[in-house]
Amino acid sequence: MTIQLKELVESLGGQLIGDADTQVSGIAPLSDASASQITFLSNPKFRPQVSQTQAAAIILSAADDAVVGADFHGVRIVAANPYAYFARAAQFFAAKNAIPVIPGIHPAASVDPAARIAATAYIGANAVIGAGASIGENVRIGAGCVIGRDVSIAAESCLYPNVTIYDACQIGQRAIIHSGVVIGADGFGFANDGGTWVKIPQTGRVLIGDDVEIGANTTIDRGALADTVIEEGVKLDNQIQIAHNCHIGAHTAIAACAGIAGSARIGKYCSIGGAAMIHGHITIVDHVHVSAGTLALRSISEPGQYTGFYPIAKHGDWEKSAALVRNLNTMREKIRSLEKSVKQLSQPLTQKDNE
């Protein structure tokens, strides 16, 4: 399916420079775009590719247009944030090409008679919907999903195949939940009694706000007593673990393989890099950016970027550095001893000089 560029600009805004009737069929990177596609420039280091791209049109900032706009042969769309414009343009094309989903319940689905399913919802094959579940309008539930009792899923959400949502959890509007996600499994709660572990019942829920996306195989545990909360606009990558009673603030983004320990509170508009580890029972304020691989052991009370990993090096160099780090305490004690000796030696000299 092709569109005229003026359709895109009428929908998304931006300043169009060139032939508004130009037809495009999709969007692609600078290096890969064909003569029937639109591309984008969001990083100045790719400016040299502008003169070489085959794209019919390009999305770029006013600053980039002033530098390389004249080098481009096609139509230009000048936008304040080219990367965000690209994202919305990609959504525009995806919506145009989407295959319509016919509402209804697949014959192979198992839906409890006490569940409330909107007439416009779609329930896929082998999905299991428990008693008291409430599925809103235009919700899509893929094959093999398991939805527990008293679960609430609001309008326009999409659950891909094999998602599991345990009892009493709540999902907001326009959620996107990818395959393999488990929401509401028991948190890791045990009390030690003389060397044996006594399970603490996990009786809280998971509450997920509007416009949340959860990547494949991510797990979000239910609270022990209070609820685990994911606020609106949060974006979670694949294979993230969020433990019981965590609270993730609105519009925070967390990359793959991060681990958030129990009762951690992360503020709004934060970003957590891949494989970062957040310790339990700490608080991170709004607008904090934790670098990939960082271990956050203490609360963070000021916005900014935080990094806590040792730079990569050749293995032999790393071993030498590790040996130095391991002996820092011994070196510190030696330095203190030397300082004490120097101080003791300097005192008589000073007294003699004064005489």
Catalytic (active-site) positions: 244
SS3 state at 82:
helix
Other residues' Cβ atoms within 10 Å of the Cβ of residue 116:
12
Concatenated DSSP letters of 305-352: EE---PPP--HHHHHHHHHHHHTHHHHHHHHHHHHHHHHHHHHHHHHH
d(CA 290, CA 296): 8
Secondary structure letter of residue 64 according to DSSP:
H
Helix, strand, coil share (%) of the chain residues, nearest 5 = 20, 25, 50
User: Is residue 18 a contact partner of residue 34, using CB atoms and an 8 Å limit?
Assistant: no
Q: Count the Cβ atoms, other than its own, within 10 Å of residue 131.
A: 13
Is 212 in a helix, a strand, or coil? coil
N-term to C-term CA, the chain? 99
